[in-house]
Amino acid sequence: MYNLERLTGEICVQNIKIAVIDDEQGILLTLQLYLEMEGFIALVFSSPIEALKVINSENVDIIILDMKMPEMDGEELAKIFKRNQETKDIPIILFSAHETVSEVAIRVGAYGILEKPFQFEELNKMIKEIIINLK
């Protein structure tokens, strides 16, 4: 799973797969473009159900998950990932426009929280912290 290596103090992000799950197409497209520009492999899903089907077989390294979606909320989806033997160790970053997300993050064992609107620097820092911790 974790395709990580350190090179002269830089973090090698080649082959790191990040799944983004959000029902808002604009956010998905923006995050996909940003992550790919940073050198990551971005898998984007507007449907939590579709994400569940694919992530189990894709060896994803990090999941970025919106809390409010119509099919299934982020808390329920995160709990499913954490109960599944194949996905339980994948770090999850939750993002939401609602302040109550910190309580949910604790309940589901999420790695971190981003409040919408978030800065890309925040996201990048969190992803790199995860990569270093996975090494």
pLDDT along the chain (135 residues), means of 10: 41 82 95 95 96 92 94 93 94 82 81 86 92 79
How far is CA 13 from each of CA 4, 42, 76, 115, rounded to the nearest angstrom?
7, 12, 29, 24
- Alpha-carbon distance 11 to 82, whole Å? 26
49-69 as b/e: b if 16+ CB within 10 A? eebbeebeebebbbbbbbbbb
Domain residue spans in the chain? Answer: 5-134
- Alpha-carbon distance 99 to 3, whole Å? 33
Q: Which CATH class is domain 5-134?
A: alpha beta
pLDDT of residue 81: 96
